[in-house]
Amino acid sequence: MLSDNFRRVDPYTPGAQPHFANMVKLNTNENPYPVSPLAAKAAAEIRSSELFRLYPPTDAGELKRALAEYHGVNDDQVFVGVGSDDVLAVIFQTCFASGEPVLFPDISYSFYDVWAKMFGVNHATVPLRENFTIDPSQYVQPNGGVVIANPNAPTGMVMPLSGIETILKANPERIVVVDEAYVDFCKETSLPLLDRYDNLIVVRTYSKSRSMAGMRIGYAIAKPNIINALESVKSAINSYTINWPSVVIGSAALKDEEYFRSTIDKIVATREWMTKELEKLGFRVLPSGANFVFASHEEVPAKVLFEKLEEKHIFVRYFPKKRIDNFLRITVGTDAQTQQLVDALTSIIQDYV
């Protein structure tokens, strides 16, 4: 039968994409502020480009060079993908074939587990400490590679670089991936460690800090031999992954540093204010270095809050998973959205207790 030939996997479950007028959408960590005006201008200008007719550069060309310059690395140290999900999937296929288990935290980006299973990568999860921090010493054991999100998701917690360095040092023959999807909202980037550690891959995305989730741009920075390996595996599957608009708009966005910084500053300020407001309402809020917070109420179960918020068209994320099933992950929106959230939670909690 035809269906016997189908490969079956447990897919990643992304946050819902509801569309209601006046909804408050705080469930997928999108940036509430518009894309950079320079990127928007670049988008408007390519509408009638002759370049639509031609294949794009296989390595994202101009975008790769713009990213190298932005980060102060060489062109041959950058790999560009269709969102960091694509970059991470290529890394799993390229770098994790030793047979020993690839290690990542038990509570982290749930896609890691999906890819490991999909690509037949032996893997094991390492429990976070009781306080939800990552214990670097747990990654000092035989393994086939390590994947750490820093800040971690969905906790938002930042691991100090000293911890990352412990892991890099202990595994010189293994690839250590640091997924920095949220690093622009804190300061703890592992990029400076690239000079000293040949086994490091830093993964970044335009989706959160650059307000470009819909554009699908992600990238990795590492030593040239690693980048070469990633390019060769990617080219064996699909040579032309990065479309022309992504190259042009992605490059333009990097020139708008001032706008970029101003939206980040606003989000960080709102995050700190939102944290205090939630604490006043009786929430325990984990310290966040990201554009979301992870919070648990002392009396009202997270599932109840999630459902009551949804009735009011306020969307947050709830994970029915051991250890975190009494937490909500709430994206930092604008001040107005955050006020709506706080008002809604205030009334829900009053009605419940």
Closest among 224, 178, 235, 174 to 204, alpha carbons compared: 178
Q: Which is nearer to ligand PLP, 207 or 241 (CB)?
A: 207
Q: What is the side-by-side strand order in the sheet with 176-179?
A: 78-81, 218-221, 200-205, 176-179, 145-149, 102-105, 123-126
Q: Which is nearer to ligand PLP, 215 or 348 (CB)?
A: 215
Q: Which is nearer to ligand PLP, 105 or 218 (CB)?
A: 218
Min separation Cβ 300 and ligand PLP, Å? 26
Q: Strands 123-126 and 102-105, how do they pair?
A: parallel
Min separation Cβ 9 and ligand PLP, Å? 18
The DSSP letter of residue 75 is G
Q: Are 157 and 286 in contact (CB under 8 A)?
A: yes
Min separation Cβ 353 and ligand PLP, Å? 33
Min separation Cβ 109 and ligand PLP, Å? 4
Min separation Cβ 175 and ligand PLP, Å? 16
Q: How many residues does the chain have?
A: 353
Residue of minimal Cβ distance to ligand PLP: 83
Q: Are 192 and 221 in contact (CB under 8 A)?
A: no
Q: Which is nearer to ligand PLP, 157 or 348 (CB)?
A: 157
CA dist., res. 294 & res. 157, Å (int): 9
Min separation Cβ 143 and ligand PLP, Å? 20
Could you give the dihedral angle defined by the CA atoms of residues 103, 105, 108 and 111, in that order, rounded to the nearest 10 degrees?
A: 20
Q: Which two tokens stand for residue 333?
A: 């929106």
Binding site for ligand PLP (CB under 6 A): 83-85, 109, 149, 153, 179, 181, 205, 207, 213, 218
Min separation Cβ 182 and ligand PLP, Å? 7
Q: Which is nearer to ligand PLP, 91 or 349 (CB)?
A: 91
Q: Which is nearer to ligand PLP, 83 or 101 (CB)?
A: 83
Alpha helices, H only, 22-82:
37-45, 61-71
Q: Which is nearer to ligand PLP, 156 or 308 (CB)?
A: 156
The number of angstroms, rounded, from the C-alpha of 177 to the middle of its chain's C-alpha atoms is: 13
